[in-house]
Structure 1
């Protein structure tokens, strides 16, 4: 599933299928190569909820279902993967992140699509405020 296709999907509760909001973003632990949290927009006056990936009951192409919409204490700071600048560990520019594919069951990142091509998850080192840092395999 692509990150870009998840944005904007409705987020529902199980059973009554009450709408909580819509997916605003996915939080990624780049070093671990997995999605950790879902950021849910609840509307202009209701703010945002943060839900751990493990709190999801189902992930589909047209909606997400959460078991609980209560945000976890100590949710990690969010840095958006989409649109992030890509740098190697040596500081070389490697384009910009266009999209990323992940497995909706395991939350594992399968590939990161950049303006320079695909980056496999094994090359991801970290995602910070400045850029997504990737391993090149070359050492200085």
Structure 2
């Protein structure tokens, strides 16, 4: 993952934020929206792009564009930093290849140990019963 390449592919848009802030909210654009096109990226290989498309499918638009927004802070710069960090964190998680499970069998000793424990447990339960005369 080439972060410099990704940073050059990102586009930002500032809009008016909602929530607390009084008059300040009505006159400044502090909410930051991040746009990134998965289809036009040069930062990933084909395998990585297909993995990203699969993992981020619920977040992508019909055009294959990822949109993130941040409006937590009253500062546009802090919101921009926040949304960029979230973007990179999202990609780092989505690009990890899945771990392929290897089929394993329990060893003979493990089977015997399990059966022995079951037998001991059954005997303990049986000893609690009243004796039949």
TM-score (norm 2): 0.22
Is the helix fraction higher in 1 or 2? Answer: 2
Is the strand fraction higher in 1 or 2? Answer: 1
